[in-house]
Amino acid sequence: MLTGTKQTDAASLVIGMFVSRLDRPWLDTPFLFQGFQIRTKQEISELQRYCDYVFVDFEKSSIDLSGTMRVPPASAQAQKSRWKRRLAGRFPFLKKLSGLFKRKATKITETPTPGHFYEDSVPVKEELIAARSIHGESVDRLTSVLDSIRRGEVVALPELEAVVDPMVDSVLRNSTAMALLVRLRKTDDYTYAHSIGASVWALVFGRHLGLDKESLKALCQGALLLDVGKTKIPTELLQKTGKLTPEETDLVRTHVELGVELVKEIAGIDPRVVSMVATHHERYDGSGYPQGLNGNQVPVFGRIAGILDSYVAMISDRPYAEATSTYNVMREFKSLSDKTFQAEMVEQFIQAIGIFPAGTLVELNTGEVGVVIKEHSFQRLKPEVALILDSNKQPLSEFKIIDLHDSDDETDGTDRTPAVWIERGVEPGAYDIDPSEYFL
């Protein structure tokens, strides 16, 4: 019976094995997390593209194997072939993604990869100036819209566009500034914070996927209105800190149908907005509500909405739960791939948002704690960090900036690891650190 961690031939991998180490640095591969359980044949194929062998932790694996596994020596030619196959393996998904959004047909060799449809035209520092004003006005206008709905009034489409359009323009100019503000600025009312947050992350995600401007506006409007039905649910029930009774749960879930009715009253609203509100609690495996749709029965914008809604909730303080770090949220999303959420959508969402986005708190392997101030698009695990606490968790007299991308590598004879790296994401608010002090 195999126990502990064993070096295992990549050709011998099976679903259920827990891969704890690779035969090369994690950062030289597309795998986002250091250590994961193999869930699909696609993950096995990806491991075989990059590695001749890996290290499997059989105690963390969900299989029971016996015997020994042969590990052939690495071949330089095989390694070169793996890298040649790397890009080719992306094309089927790109074609599938293009089809999902009914983009105009183009030759696949001419189709940009996700994340390369748009380029920032304004530096983040410059866009932050405009984004501050846009964010404040958006919250004020959203407050007015939701208050009108509570009074039983019908919202006019121009009122909604006045909230959405400036945000769309800001995110198209720069994909970071508005997202950074949403992450750092706190709004007392969870409903407003959730709605604005969902709409901005929707734009960041949609921009990454290459949606045209009209689709981005629809996606943003839908995200803004996902929970509009909750304006008709008693506030005390929404703010309850304890576990809901079955009757209370059923009542809260009616916010979907209530929201659909409210959104349908908006003259000229894009049908995709109605669809998003109707299906944002449906799940890929059929476990959602209200209809129990599954797979492609859930419309594309609905699948996106489910991820957005869950993400914003998990990174926010709620009456019944504290905020979770983005790193831990993304790990959770990975574990739910092709279960709760479509795997391709999860993969692209993680690429769009990042593992350690600007404004998140992190702890390094040195014990030091800092805030991420800049990401590197091709080295997501090695951002620029402003160190705030020393290894003993004491405040530094002056914060210092370290770029993990420039960190030297050290070799221990078996594996190569960065001299300094991020050990873990830290929950928002930990150590009484306010990241906004370093940006706003």
Determine the 3-state secondary structure of 377 from DSSP.
coil
- Position 112 scores a pLDDT of 64
Range(s) within the chain of domains with CATH label 1.10.3210.10: 124-353
Percentage of the chain modeled with pLDDT above 90: 39
Whether the predicted pLDDT of 88 surpasses 50: no
Count CB atoms within 10 A of the CB of residue 173: 19
183-187, 195-199, 244-248 — which is least confidently predicted? Answer: 183-187
More confident residue, 164 or 3: 164
Rounded to two decimals, what is the model's pTM?
0.73
pLDDT band of 338, cuts 50, 70, 90: confident
d(CA 137, CA 243): 35
Bond from prior residue into 299 cis (ω within 30 degrees of 0): no
In the block, tokens 């009774």 appear at 245
Mean pLDDT on 24-40: 70
Whether the predicted pLDDT of 71 surpasses 70: no
Which two structure tokens, joined as six digits, stand for 138?
């958006």
Residue 263: closest CA among 254, 251, 272: 272
For residues 217-237, b (16+ Cβ closer than 10 Å) or e, as one string? bbbbbbbbbbbbbbbbbeeee
Contact 12, 69 (CB under 8 A): yes
Of 1.20.810.10, 1.10.10.10, 3.40.50.10320, 1.10.3210.10, the CATH number of 124-353 is: 1.10.3210.10
At residue 81, what are phi and psi to the nearest 5 degrees?
-65, -35
Which residues, 6+ apart, have CB-to-CB distance to 190 below 8 Å? Answer: 316, 317, 318, 319
- Position 276 scores a pLDDT of 97
Quick: pLDDT tens for 106-131.
Answer: 333 345 667 778 888 998 889 989 99
Name the E strands within 115-236. Answer: none
Whether the predicted pLDDT of 87 surpasses 50: no
Whether the predicted pLDDT of 152 surpasses 80: yes
pLDDT band of 321, cuts 50, 70, 90: confident
- Position 36 scores a pLDDT of 80
Q: Which helix H or strand E contains 191, and what residues bound it?
A: helix 190-209
Which residues, 6+ apart, have CB-to-CB distance to 181 below 8 Å? Answer: 128, 131, 132, 135, 440
Mean pLDDT on 342-349: 89
Amino acid at 161: E
More confident residue, 68 or 294: 294
Residue 286 DSSP code: S
- Position 13 scores a pLDDT of 93
Torsion (CA) 420, 424, 429, 434 in degrees, nearest 10: 20
Whether the predicted pLDDT of 74 surpasses 60: no
pLDDT band of 275, cuts 50, 70, 90: very high
Residue 359: closest CA among 182, 129, 96: 182
pLDDT band of 435, cuts 50, 70, 90: confident
In the beta sheet, which residues pair with residue 37? 18
Whether the predicted pLDDT of 104 surpasses 90: no
More confident residue, 316 or 319: 316
Cα dihedral sign for 427, 433, 434, 439? negative
Contact 204, 173 (CB under 8 A): no
Whether the predicted pLDDT of 256 surpasses 80: yes
Beta strand pairing status for 416-418 and 409-411? antiparallel
d(CA 429, CA 325): 10
Amino acid at 307: I
